[in-house]
Structure 1
Amino acid sequence: MNKHKLRALILMLGAIFMAFFMAFFMVNTTIHAARMDMVDVSNNNGYMSTAEYVSMRNEFGVKAVTVKISEGSTYKDPYAASNITNVQAAGMYINGYHFSHYATRAQAIAEADFAGRTAKAAGLPVGAVLATDVEAQEQNYQSKATNDRNNAAFMKEIQKFGYRSDIYTSGSWANTKMTIKGRTGWIAAYPYVASGKNWYSNNHAWQWSSTAKFRISYGGFDVSQLNDKYYTAGQKSTVKPTNKGAVKTNNKKANKHTYKKSASSKWIKEKKTYTLKTAVKLHTSTSTSSNTIAILPAGITVKTDQAIIKGGYRWVRQPRSNGYGYLVTGPTSNTLKYVKSGTAHTYYTVKSGDSWWTIAQRNGLNMTTLASQNGKSIYTTIYPGQRLVVR
């Protein structure tokens, strides 16, 4: 072989190798967007029609819907039955969840019995998942061992009704406040940018946004990526998105950066005075698992001098005679659990039939903002006669 042919062969082989390398590199560095496989809804979303669920399925690729069934030992979600009926009419997988408040094993069993009976009455089919939503203050004050015992009791009791069980909680609580084993669990954690990383790939589901928008539905929704078939097992479904182009486009939009950092990841000066709306723990450091200096009661004022974003929370520092104490004021989206003292507020008195969604709509607010500025979550039950801050 002469040197010209040899050179040509070398160049050709080099080009083939380079093309192969680039193809391999591109395939293996593709950023995968988080998927909108599952949506969860409650009375806070108002009445949801079959048409809305069909739109979620066809235009956004949603496969499953998990509806709120109950809360505590007395509250029944008034939209549970209609949500279950309409989700099934849309040909989607259906599951349920119970927002728990139990602090003892006996309470966990009692809540499971209440949730199971309520789910049966609402029409949740046997074989569906009925998850326990564990994120309330009652569990926050328990040890990990106590929460594990209570969760196990709830899930064992739920199975008596023919439902499969699971635990929903936040990423900051998983394996700190309670044990979440691999191949179990539905974990909530909201990154600034969802694309490029599945934060909880070893769990059944990852809830990666609480602000997803759907074309014909009002407000923001919690959306989750399913990592296995746990939430789609044991049921028949006709989920077949009819507009794959729309699914791709809408998924891309949902993954865009929609969160704003409330403060620097470094300490910043922030001299404020807060009036606590609920009893909260004063920690020795900026970690929810750190030792507790004291439990500060609702109603007292706390003066702070600095703030920081750390570990998925927004912390403030309280100067004390012998050092500092640290308080969580909310998640990194800066949803405050406390109200700054001296600020004038406008209040709304809850009426029969009201929900977070209806009150927020009436006052031009996002319902998550409304709930958080009252020191609650959108899953907290509100009652007639209760006063809420709306301005």
Structure 2
Amino acid sequence: MHQIKSKLLLTGAAVIVAFSFGLNANAARMDMVDVSNNNGYMSTAEYVSMRNEFGVKAVTVKISEGGTYKDPYAASNIANVQAAGLYINGYHFARYATKAQAIAEADFAGQTAKAAGLPVGAVLATDVESQEANNQTKTTNDRNNTAFMQEIAKFGYRSDIYTSGSWANNKMTIKGKTGWIASYPYVATGKNWYSTNHAWQWSSTAKFRISYGGFDVSQLNSTYYTADQKSSVKPTDPSAVHQNNQTANKHQQANSSAKWVKESKTYTLKTAVKLRTGASTSSSVITTLPAETTVKTDQAIIQGGYRWVRQPRFSGYGYLATGPANNTLEYVKISVSNTYYTVKSGDSWWSIAQRNGLSMYSLAHQNGKSIYSTIYPGNKLQIN
């Protein structure tokens, strides 16, 4: 890893409470939050609340994706996180499949991060969970990840790899004292998961008091994402931090018990996707469905870091991932035929989106609105 410690004061002032791992030892801690355009605009006040009431020490914001996408909230997130006195880092959602593409994406991510104000010395991680990476061998992914991280160092950023627990050391090598690993156990309490790695993301549905929606939260098992520094800044209410962390663990236990939901939809694939015997990347591959294949589904579920759908077949079912677990449809085009939902009394963007396997931002966008638009009973919303 590339340890660059110049200008570290720009990364933020605060590590909350002593960084001892004894704090709230029986519960997974909410040390770090990662945010993107899916979370919408995040104010300084929201980050201060995360710091003071939940013990958050660092925030990692989405910077870019592939070779063209720039997260529109990156600059405001970076500025507001720093204003709240938290350590700031960034991540790039990788789409590369070759070494040349990895270098090109690193140059794009580095330039985008600089323009958005990510300070020198921050971590700029590569988020490796795409279908492009899934289609590569472990050797190829290792080569591509190394090329990305070496190129990122030229911009003055430290680097790391984010991936799922099922991919770590299967789809790519994650050495000890490196890595940010996502794994959502049914019971987060009582075990320090991935203790030899920098960070463990243990929930994607954490709630914060004054922020809307669910958030990805991670426990830090080293000081890598806080620039190996400590600070005297502390939460205003340490007892609240303890209680809020305990509550988040209990909610994780409830939320992590994923259930299949009815989804009668027709999709057209925009990239080749593997059809499997079960809703897991470790399940056997039935076949690889090429781009432009039409797929009819009857159920959907969020589990194992992905959004999965079930396809009825002549004999049994096939399962395919439509995208990461943030509910986005990464690998499919819009449905062949549109389906609409009639708004009822008590509905919200959040409740309608959750019921139909969407993010509320995607739901609002495809209806030409924002999540701040008012919806009324009787309104018809496109839900596919």
Scaled by the length of structure 1, what TM-score is found?
0.72
Secondary structure of the residue aligned to 2:204 is strand
Per-residue CA shift, 1:310-358, capped at 9, x if unaligned?
978768586567xx7742457999969689x9996139xxxxxxxxxxx
1:230 aligns with 2:244: no
- Indicate the residue corresponding to 1:33 in structure 2: 27
Pairing partner for 2:92 from 94, 98, 101: 98
Distance 1:318 1:68, change over 3 A: same
The 1-side partners of 2:255 and 2:136 are apart by: 31
- Indicate the residue corresponding to 2:42 in structure 1: 48
- Indicate the residue corresponding to 1:294 in structure 2: 287
Per-residue CA shift, 1:195-253, capped at 9, x if unaligned?
12222212110111111111111111111000011101156755411211111111111
The 2-side partners of 1:331 and 1:214 are apart by: 25
Q: Which amino acid aligns with 1:107?
A: Q
Q: Considering only aligned residues, what root-mean-square deviation do their CA atoms show, in Å?
A: 4.1
Distance 1:158 1:74, change over 3 A: same
- Indicate the residue corresponding to 1:10 in structure 2: none
Shift of 1:193: 2.6
Pairing partner for 2:160 from 154, 166, 169: 166
Secondary structure of the residue aligned to 1:58 is helix
Secondary structure of the residue aligned to 1:198 is coil
User: 1:49-198, aligned counterparts within 5 Å?
Assistant: 49-198=43-192
Distance 1:155 1:284, change over 3 A: same
The 2-side partners of 1:84 and 1:310 are apart by: 30
Instruction: Verify the 8 A CA contact 1:32 1:195 in the aligned structure 2.
Output: yes
Count of residues in Structure 1 that have an aligned counterpart in Structure 2? 335
- Indicate the residue corresponding to 1:355 in structure 2: none
The 1-side partners of 2:300 and 2:114 are apart by: 47
Q: Which amino acid aligns with 2:30?
A: M
- Indicate the residue corresponding to 1:241 in structure 2: 235
- Indicate the residue corresponding to 1:207 in structure 2: 201
Structure of higher CA gyration radius: 1
Shift of 1:157: 0.4
Structure 1 unmatched runs, 5+ = 1-27, 265-269, 348-361
The 2-side partners of 1:121 and 1:312 are apart by: 30
Instruction: Verify the 8 A CA contact 2:184 2:256 in the aligned structure 1.
Output: no
Distance 1:332 1:32, change over 3 A: farther
Distance 1:271 1:224, change over 3 A: closer
The 1-side partners of 2:36 and 2:301 are apart by: 33
The 2-side partners of 1:67 and 1:378 are apart by: 17
Shift of 1:192: 2.4
Pairing partner for 2:383 from 364, 368, 390: 390
- Indicate the residue corresponding to 2:349 in structure 1: 364
- Indicate the residue corresponding to 1:281 in structure 2: 274
Distance 1:69 1:299, change over 3 A: same
Q: Which amino acid aligns with 1:280?
A: V
Per-residue CA shift, 1:42-69, capped at 9, x if unaligned?
1222222221111111110000011111
Instruction: Verify the 8 A CA contact 1:219 1:366 in the aligned structure 2.
Output: no
The 1-side partners of 2:236 and 2:49 are apart by: 10
Instruction: Verify the 8 A CA contact 2:268 2:336 in the aligned structure 1.
Output: no
Scaled by the length of structure 2, what TM-score is found?
0.73
Instruction: Verify the 8 A CA contact 1:282 1:325 in the aligned structure 2.
Output: no
Q: Mean alpha-carbon deviation: is it higher for 292-301 or for 92-101?
A: 292-301
Instruction: Verify the 8 A CA contact 1:363 1:390 in the aligned structure 2.
Output: no
- Indicate the residue corresponding to 1:327 in structure 2: 319
Shift of 1:104: 0.8
Distance 1:300 1:277, change over 3 A: closer
Q: Which amino acid aligns with 2:121?
A: G
User: 1:13-28, aligned counterparts within 5 Å?
Assistant: none
The 1-side partners of 2:93 and 2:74 are apart by: 13
Instruction: Verify the 8 A CA contact 1:261 1:333 in the aligned structure 2.
Output: no
Q: Which amino acid aligns with 2:199?
A: A
The 2-side partners of 1:223 and 1:310 are apart by: 16
Per-residue CA shift, 1:246-286, capped at 9, x if unaligned?
1111111101023163459xxxxx99976444342134677
Secondary structure of the residue aligned to 1:210 is strand
Instruction: Verify the 8 A CA contact 2:123 2:157 in the aligned structure 1.
Output: yes
Secondary structure of the residue aligned to 1:255 is helix
Instruction: Verify the 8 A CA contact 2:63 2:112 in the aligned structure 1.
Output: yes
